[in-house]
Amino acid sequence: MDKLNRPLIDLRISVTDKCNFRCTYCMPREVFGNDFPFMGRDEIMTFEEIDRLAGIFVSLGVEKIRLTGGEPLLRRNLHNLVSMLALRDVEIAMTTNGVLLPRYAPALSAAGLNRVTVSLDAIDEATFAKITDSGHTVASVMAGIEAAESVGLGPIKINTVVKRNSNEEEVLDLIERFSNRDIAIRFIEYMDVGSTNGWSLEDVVSAEEIRQLIGELKPIPSVKKSDVAKRYETAQGDEVGLITSVTEPFCGNCTRARISADGRFYTCLFSSRGLDLLSPIRMGSSDEEIASIIRSHWQEREDRYSEIRSEMSKPSDRIEMSYIGG
Ligand code: SAM
Ligand code: SF4
Ligand code: SF4
């Protein structure tokens, strides 16, 4: 347990800091251009190192691992990592922008991946192109969703970040597009992660506004205390989730840790520093020694950034979402 009595249950592992999209709110092209210093091959963890760390985290109580990035499907032979993790007693999920799923979903499913969450901020191609700034299309993400469903990686969740004057008009269209399918859309309040996206509170479309946009919504009771989405059923019977990270923070139930692709351990999305776990691994520490480093770091954890956001001055060295893993 940490200092606020929260157990360590969910682990997000970033497998790369690279991405084939340049979402304006995450990796704006002006910052993440051709000369951006992404991590070098020697800096990032090998699959064996990731799997070893995962095993240690599982021994400390982690029940669910989510692979993320950057874009996790850019990491070559990711299915080999999945097949290693699948031997552990843990649920394995992945968050992806979806465009590479047609190519990789069959191998990932066969390797033991349980579920995918696909990020999709718009159904309208022009709006999507503006947000993702990459030449990819809604059609290619939809093909990814179909591919994942067809190999049993469902029930699929869709993540949509709603940003003012960008995609509010997509909310109803997204719900309609996925209506009557076993797919739940979760609308996420735009967060002040990192320091490159020029975040401003005015750009946040609150969950309350989204509720009003949708109209009639019936609450669905949550399954687990650590569920981050508040779940609802629309008048048409479709499930919709709202992730109220900014306006109704849920730090009190936050049981998640993150590891960046270079093996740093972060206990909050808004941390500016992570604890280096890769050096002890490469210097020959035993599993017990590493477990003890992780345990003491978690026991010291007091993070609740979203609850105290308004009292905080914004640190300039805050870590980027594409680095820490969303
Ligand atoms: N590239 C993959 C993807 O987009 O699904 C995985 C990594 S991405 C960083 C994970 C999630 O973080 C995406 O759903 C993305 O929309 C979300 N995200 C990124 N920046 C965000 C922000 N400032 N506020 C809220 N969500 C954000
Ligand atoms: Fe890439 Fe995901 Fe960030 Fe978009 S949100 S730039 S797809 S890491
Ligand atoms: Fe967890 Fe930090 Fe987000 Fe609060 S702000 S929910 S502690 S990651």
* Best residue for ligand 1 mutational test, from 22, 26, 191 (most atoms within 8 Å of Cβ): 26
Domain CATH for 268: 3.20.20.70
The answer to whether the beta carbons of residues 85 and 66 sit under 8 Å apart is no
Mean pLDDT of the chain: 92
* Best residue for ligand 1 mutational test, from 27, 157, 188, 318 (most atoms within 8 Å of Cβ): 188
Look at residue 284 in the predicted model and tell me its pLDDT.
96
Q: Name every residue whose Cβ is closer than 8 Å to that of residue 93 and which is 6 or more positions away in sequence.
A: 64, 65, 66, 67, 113, 114, 115, 116, 117
Look at residue 159 in the predicted model and tell me its pLDDT.
97
Q: Name every residue whose Cβ is closer than 8 Å to that of residue 100 and which is 6 or more positions away in sequence.
A: 20, 71, 73, 74, 144
Q: Is 269 in the pocket of ligand 3 (CB under 6 A)?
A: yes
State in Å: Cα 325 to ligand 2 middle. Answer: 9
State in Å: Cα 114 to ligand 1 middle. Answer: 20
Average the pLDDT over each of 88-97, 220-229, 316-325 and give the range with the smallest value.
316-325
Look at residue 135 in the predicted model and tell me its pLDDT.
92
Q: Is residue 106 part of a domain?
A: yes
Q: Which residue has the higher pLDDT, 195 or 28?
A: 28
Give the residue-averaged pLDDT of 247-275. Answer: 91
Checking if the pLDDT of 218 tops 80, the result is yes
Q: Is residue 204 part of a domain?
A: yes
Residue 156: beta bridge partners? 183
Q: What is the pTM of this model?
A: 0.94
The rounded distance, in Å, linking the Cα atoms of 292 and 152 is 37
Look at residue 319 in the predicted model and tell me its pLDDT.
78
Range of the domain at 99: 10-324
Give the residue-averaged pLDDT of 95-106. Answer: 98
The rounded distance, in Å, linking the Cα atoms of 188 and 181 is 20
Q: Is residue 2 part of a domain?
A: no
Give the residue-averaged pLDDT of 112-121. Answer: 98
Q: Is residue 198 part of a domain?
A: yes
The answer to whether the beta carbons of residues 157 and 182 sit under 8 Å apart is no
Ligand with an atom nearest the CA of residue 4: 3
- Which tens digits make up the pLDDT trace of 169-184? 999 999 999 998 889 9
Q: Is residue 315 part of a domain?
A: yes
Q: Is residue 152 part of a domain?
A: yes
Look at residue 226 in the predicted model and tell me its pLDDT.
65
Q: Is 232 in the pocket of ligand 3 (CB under 6 A)?
A: no
Look at residue 200 in the predicted model and tell me its pLDDT.
84
Q: Which residue has the higher pLDDT, 125 or 309?
A: 125
Q: Is residue 125 part of a domain?
A: yes
Checking if the pLDDT of 39 tops 70, the result is yes
State in Å: Cα 26 to ligand 1 middle. Answer: 7
% of the chain beyond a pLDDT of 70: 97
- Which tens digits make up the pLDDT trace of 276-298? 999 999 999 999 999 999 999 99
* Best residue for ligand 3 mutational test, from 6, 8, 253, 270 (most atoms within 8 Å of Cβ): 270
Q: Is residue 57 part of a domain?
A: yes
Total domains in the fold of the chain: 1
Give the residue-averaged pLDDT of 140-161. Answer: 96
114: Cα separation from own chain's centroid: 16
Residue whose Cα lies nearest atom 3 of ligand 2: it is 26
Look at residue 6 in the predicted model and tell me its pLDDT.
94
